[in-house]
Structure formats: structure tokens, C-alpha cells
Structure 1
Amino acid sequence: MPALPDLVCSECAAIYPVESLIWRCRCGGILDVVDFALTMDAAALPGRAPSLWRYTEALPIAVDPTVTLGEGFSPLVPSRALPHVQLKLDFLLPTLSFKDRGAVVLATLAKRLGVTGAMVDSSGNAGTAMAAYFGRAGIGCTVYVPESTSPGKLAQMRAHGATVELVPGSRADTSAAALQAAGQDGVLYASHVYHPYFLHGVKTYGYEIWEQRGRSLPETVVVPVGNGTMVLGCYLAFSELVAAGLAERMPRLCAVQASACSPLEQAMAQGFDAPSAVQNGATIAEGIAIAAPPRGKQILAAVRATGGTIVSVTDRQIAAARQELADEGLFVEPTSAVSFAAVSAAVDQTFDAGSPTWAVAANLLTARSVVVPLCGAGLKSPAR
């Protein structure tokens, strides 16, 4: 088997073998995957299976037929209400969320390394994806989640055989509890935030957009942002496609937060390089209610590098967008409706005209070609 790419600290550049199961640098820095050779054989793509593994040259690990569930290559369909928008239906992946993209990569890694167990913290969807894929790989999995997590997501985790640890308090409290438990011998901390192999699974979302659009990229890609795995995955994909000469330019990234918990939007508006922690307000978009995203500095840098920005929308706007999508035949959870809510606000001109980030976003969101992800299925968070 080919060697697995090492991990590198984004702060001090220390190198760690992925076999060490380390998840954060000793200096406290966030880890990334070291650069590895990308020789995408674009001519071979039409003959490959319609899954994310068709981009094998761009992934840090090879497919394991005993772990994959055929994830990836979700449909890209036009919106009826917003003709300039294409909707990518990642809520149709095996566990009904885009987190399957990263989860299958981490489960494949864990099986190859022979780990005895895995643990993860999640607001819901990452936990359900990890539970499913680690269960399929025959590896025990413990999932730490806030006690307020949607019952549907908890039932899904338990159905896949995961041990569920309910943590009182906020999503930050859940992360703190998981960090205290991380580092057990032989146990992989399969964090969708800290482990960078996860991001390389998510980046296949961007490769699929490129291929499904006739090997071209849209002007704008709109993504919900909490911990930022979708933002950073898209940035990786688009950067690699441009570097390989397979795309002429980067799309602008417009990230969207819930106004009740928007540290990244606030940092963007104030011109900061890193976000400050905020009070975690209650929001129906539970999947992005992250008061202090560990990769916040990277998220802001990535969005700015594309000429994009970060905005926020209210729960009322999110609920309305969720209903609009349902009217189009697409039932998604509230977190998945935030990007559509932002585009609708730009089209209807119902955004905060005094916001410096909305002043930029209004043009991005009304561009001729915009792609919006629908990341999680509505049955995970039934309408109240």
C-alpha cells in the first residue's frame, strides 16, 4: 500500500506520522495534511464509479471496499424559486448528511491503522456519520453530543451501535468533555474539526461540482459555517483544481452563520484575522452553533482568499427558507437552509444594508451561477 501522508502543524510546522494518532500539535496548533502528489487523471473519470472515490488521486488514502457505502456524487439540481441557483443534494448520502464524506475517510484510515476504537464529539450529523462508518468498519465508536441534540440524530447513532455520551450545556461544553477523554491508547479521536483527513474527504464536494457542471466552477459557492469543514473542504478542492490547470479560477466563497451565534461573521465584519468567542445563543441551526471554532483563523483566510465574505441570517429567515425548499420537494434540516436563506435575502433585498459583509455578499449571492449545498435531511430535525 502507498504510504499515508503525514500531518503538519499550521503554526510551528512540526511533522507527525498519521499512525501516531495525534490530533493536535504539542504546541497547541491545528494540524493539516502535508502536501502530497496530485496527478488527477481527468480523462479516466467517465469510466469510474459514481462515488467520491473516483477522485482517488486527490485523496490521502485509497478506498476500502469493505468500508465504503458508495457515498458521494450527490445530485446537482436547479432551484425552481431561484433560477441562478443550483442545489447540491448531500442530504441524500447514506447517513443523510455531507459528513459522510469525511467520516468514510477517517473510518478507512482507522481500519488500515488497526485501531481498537474511536471517539468523536458532534452536534449531531458528524456523530451519526461516524457511528455508521465505524460500525461498518467493525470499530467501536463513542459519540459525545449536547443533551439537546435532536432525538432523530440520537436514535440514528444508537442504531449504528455507537455509545452516546450526552453532555449538559452547550456545544462548547461537549467539545471540552471530548477533549478530556481524547488520547486513550489505541483510540482514534475521529474529530471532524481537528483531524485533517476529514477535510480531504469533504473536499470531494468541490470536485463533484466541477465535474457535474461540465468541468467548470460557478461564480459563487454558498456554504453554512460553524466549525468550517465545508468551507475548508471547498477551498482545498478549488485550490487544487486551479493549481492542476483543471479550472481557470476560484469561485467566491460566501459562508453563512446563524445570527444568534456568529463569531466568524463578526470577525469578518471587523477585519480580524481570527474570531473571538461569542455567547452561544439559541438557534434552530444547531449544526453551526459554534461559539469558538478551532479552525476560525483558517476559515477567515480561506474565504478572504477567494474574494468572498461571511454573513448571518436570523432563525425566522432560516425557517422561511426551509419551507421554501420543502415547497420545491426538498426537506432539509434548519442548518441546511441557512445558505438558501442568505441567497433569498440577497434576491429580495431583505438583508441588513448597513452590514459591511452584506454589502459584499449581495453581489456574490445574485451572480449568474451560484451553488448551494443542502447538507442534512429534514427528518433529522422534524419541523416543530
Structure 2
Amino acid sequence: MFPDLPSYRCSCGRRPTPSVERWRCDCGGLLDLPAAAVTWSPRRGDHSLWRYQDAIAVPGRELSLGEGMTPLVGASPDGEEGVRLKVEYASPTGSFKDRGAVMLVALARLLGATRLVADSSGNAGTAVAAYAARAGLAAEIFVPAGTSDKKLLQIRGHGAQVTVVDGSREDTARAAVERVEATGAFYASHVYNPYFYEGTKTYALEVFEQLGETAPATLVLPAGNGTLVLGAYLGFAGLRAAGLVDRLPRVVVVQAQRCAPLAAAFAAGREDVEPVTPEATVAEGIAIAAPPRGTRILEIVRETGGAVVTVTEEEIARAHAALAAQGLWVEPTGAVSYAAVRRLRAEGSPFMEGAVVAPLCGSGLKASL
């Protein structure tokens, strides 16, 4: 037990205490952390995400590779005034997953864990492997067959054990859970452990600060498991609760057309997300057929007046090329949000009115078309 850590919350009413073994509720439900207003007191001399330490539930600046404070640049070469791109691939391991991974590994160390297990399509695994190495903890990363060789090389390079699962992303998660339950390892899950979102919410805090302490009109965010959607929402909701913004940005969620369970549920007006049979997509990082937190993602979209849209493989490829022509080299998944921005702009969508922010989530050095 660590007294400075807030207890988890489950919809069943239980309030479990964080521990090495705890990754879901005894009822089998998903865990969350209590909602809280943001304490806005950035530590001016700190240029990592730990500058927002007073707004983060993990106590102390436990661990860092300099993650956070990624650039926010204009998308002006295509004439898209008002569109800003947050260069998340400038993170230490090349993706936004560093934001959440540093929180999970810091938490694991606080709780006394010695070994971590994670499952990933690549980027979360590389991030957990890197921060585990930094913290001196052993790590095993489960990945689905077909994961980019470059990502596998990076995971192994950080000293983590790689277990390749011959199956879907969901099969990979099940295999990781079996290992966790058999060994008692800390499950560094970017889906199940809500402390991951303590890291991704700093995306919103940085955008708020970089825009002169205002909220953008629209956030365009890719979603497989939706970890950036969940974190960004928590950040802006915390700012609103603190009276620092008077509205939430509209959240436009983007999925690859070939694997779009959230889009299907949104279009049908459903509250729950039904699994889909995915087709192969270059956007491997968001090819999640059955996102466990899909219901919450849909709630966020509807609460903020947003939408869920899809982009084709051709649109992703064109957006990738357009970004490269601007000096921005992303992996295919990293071009998904920009593909949506280009389409919505061309259609004259009201979602493009006002300040719009979209992330470039992963480096092109990790995977390519």
C-alpha cells in the first residue's frame, strides 16, 4: 500500500488500493481514478511532462527521459490556417506512449515491482521497455505477429524480452494476462491501468499552455484503444473543473476504415462497441477490433459534440506524403489524424472552425508504408 496514491474506482462501487497485482476490479470491471480539478502550477524550470507534477496522481518526479513538451507547429503549407500539429514523435522513444509509460513504470517502482509485462502493437511496448530499462526493472513485451521489425528491434534493444503471439491484438492481450496471472508481474497495461492516462492527460495541459492558456475548438485524435482520447479529455475536464477553461474542445476521433469499431457504433447510435473483423491496414497502431474502453470513448465524443470518422488507406498515404513534404516524417498510423483534417477541411466541416489541434503520434523511423 502506498498512501499517497489515490485508490482506484470501479463502476461496481469497489475502491481497490493500487498494488503490484491489481490491474482490474474483483468484479472483472475496468478501473478508473477519481476525477479531479487540475492544480495549475507548472514548474517553469522543468521542460518534461513532470512540470505538471501538481496535476499528476503519481507522487514525485520519479523517472524521466525528458518526455513531454513536444512542439506544436502550424500546418500552413497546405493553407490550413488554424490547424496545429503536435509533434508527439519527438518523444524519447518516438511516440506519445512515453507519456503514459513513464507513469506506469514510476508507479510499478513505487509499489515495489521487479518485473513488468505489457502487450502492444509496438509503440507502447517500446515505451514500457525503455522506461523499465531506465528504472532497472525487467520487462516482457507481448506483440502480435506482423509488428514492425523496427519496433521489435527497439524493444529488444532496451533489454526487454519479446514474445510474439501468432494471432490478433486481442489474442496478444490475453496471452499477456495469462503471464501476469501466472507470475504475479506488474501489468503495465496502457488499456487497463488508469495511471497511464495521468501521463496522456499532459498532452492537453501542454496544448493549453502552448495556446496561451486557452482550449482549442477541436481536437482531432486517432483511436485504437483510445489512450490519447481518454487522457486528453481528462486534462481538459480537469482544467474546466478548475475554472481555467469554460468549455471542452470537440473531440473528433479518427479510425482506419479497415478497422473501425468505434465509428460503426457511433454511426449506429449505439452506446456499446461491438467487435469487428479487421482488415489489414497500414495504421497498425490503431487496429483494435474490440477496444475495452470503447463505451467511454463514445461518451466523450458525444459529450463534447464531436464525431467519429474514418479514413481510407489512400487518404492515409496521401497525408503521409503531404507531411513528409513539410519535413514531418511519421509512421503510417501517425498520419491518420492529419488525413482526417485534410478531408474535413476539404468538406468545409464545422469541426475545422476555430483552432484545431491534431497529433503526429509516431515516428516514421519506427514503421513505413
CA–CA separation in structure 2 for the residues paired with 1:332 and 1:77: 14
Q: Residue type of the partner of 1:228? A: G
SS at 1:203's partner residue?
helix
2:235 counterpart residue number? 237
CA displacement, residues 84-132 of structure 1 (integer Å, 9 cap, x when unaligned) = 2100001000000000000001111111111110000000000000000
Return 218-227 or 13-22, whichever deviates more. Answer: 13-22
Report the secondary structure of 2:19's partner residue. helix
Q: Secondary structure at the match of 2:365?
A: helix
Q: What's the CA shift for 1:185? A: 5.0
What stretches of structure 2 of length at least 5 have no aligned partner?
none
* Aligned-CA RMSD value: 1.5
Matches of 1:30 and 1:300, distance apart in 2: 16
Is 2:23 aligned against 1:27? no
Distance 1:49 1:129 in 2: 21
In 1, the alpha carbon distance for the partners of 2:27 and 2:19 equals 19
* 8 Å Cα contact 2:21/2:186 also seen in 1: yes
Q: Could you list the per-position Cα deviations for residues 336-371 of structure 1 after superposition, in whole angstroms to 9, with x for gaps in the alignment? A: 11111011112223xxxxxxxxxxx9321x212100
From 47, 52, 59, the counterpart of 1:50: 47
Q: Does 1:61 align with 2:58?
A: yes
AA at the equivalent of 2:137: I
Report the residue type matching 1:288 in the other structure: I
**AA in 1 matched with 2:254:** V
Q: In the alignment, residue 314 of structure 2 is paired with which amino acid? A: R
The residue that corresponds to 2:74 in the other structure is: 78
List runs of 5+ in structure 1 lacking aligned partners: 350-360
Determine the structure 1 residue equivalent to 2:7.
6
Structure 1 position 13, deviation (Å): 2.0
Percent of residue pairs identical: 49
Could you give the per-residue CA deviations for residues 66-87 of structure 1, whole angstroms, max 9, x where no partner exists?
x211110101011122222100
**For residue 102 of structure 2, what is the aligned residue in structure 1?**
104
Partner of 1:40: 39
Question: Is residue 366 of structure 2 the alignment partner of residue 380 of structure 1?
Answer: yes
User: What is residue 303 of structure 1 aligned with on the other side?
Assistant: 301
Aligned partner of 1:371 in structure 2 is 357
CA distance in 2, matches of 1:62, 1:371: 29
The correspondence of residues 244-255 of structure 1 with structure 2, limited to 5 A, is 244-255=242-253
Following TM superposition, by how much is the alpha carbon of 1:2 offset from its aligned partner in structure 2, in angstroms? 5.9
Q: How does 1:325-336 map to 2 (within 5 A)?
A: 325-336=323-334
* Aligned partners of 1:170 and 1:280 also within 8 Å: no
Which amino acid counterpart does residue 327 of structure 1 have in structure 2? Answer: A
Contact 1:63-1:108 at 8 Å conserved across structures:
no
Q: Secondary structure at the match of 1:47?
A: coil
Note the C-alpha offset of 1:176: 1.8
Shift of 1:48: 3.4
Q: Verify the 8 A CA contact 1:267 1:276 in the aligned structure 2.
A: yes
Q: Distance in 2 between matches of 1:121 and 1:192?
A: 8
Contact 1:116 1:186 in 2 (8 A): no
Spell out, residue by residue over 1:170-199, the C-alpha distance to the aligned partner (whole angstroms, 9 max, x if none).
Answer: 212211211222234541000000000001
Q: 1:347 to 1:208 in 2, by over 3 A?
A: same
Is contact 1:115-1:186 (8 Å) kept?
A: no
- Kindly indicate whether the alpha-carbon contact (under 8 Å) linking 2:84 and 2:356 is maintained by their aligned counterparts in 1: yes
Question: In structure 1, what residue type is equivalent to 2:143?
Answer: V
Alignment of 1:124-135 (within 5 A): 124-135=122-133
Which residue does the alignment assign to 1:362? 349
Which residue of the other structure, out of 119, 122, 125, is the alignment partner of 1:121?
119
Counterpart AA for 1:367: E
- The alpha carbon displacement at 1:8 in A equals 1.1
TM-score, normalised by the number of residues in structure 2 = 0.96
State how far apart, in whole Å, the 2-side matches of 1:27 and 1:52 are.
Answer: 34
Aligned residues: 366
* Residues 18-63 of structure 1: per-residue CA shift (max 9 Å, x gap): 0253111122211001345x46144xx3623111111112111124
SS at match of 1:379: coil
For residues 20 and 374 of structure 1, the distance between their equivalents in structure 2, rounded to whole angstroms, comes to 33
- How far, CA to CA, are the matches of 1:88 and 1:279 in structure 2? 31
Distance, in Å, in 1 between the alignment partners of 2:26 and 2:307 is 32
Deviation at residue 234 of structure 1 after TM alignment: 0.8
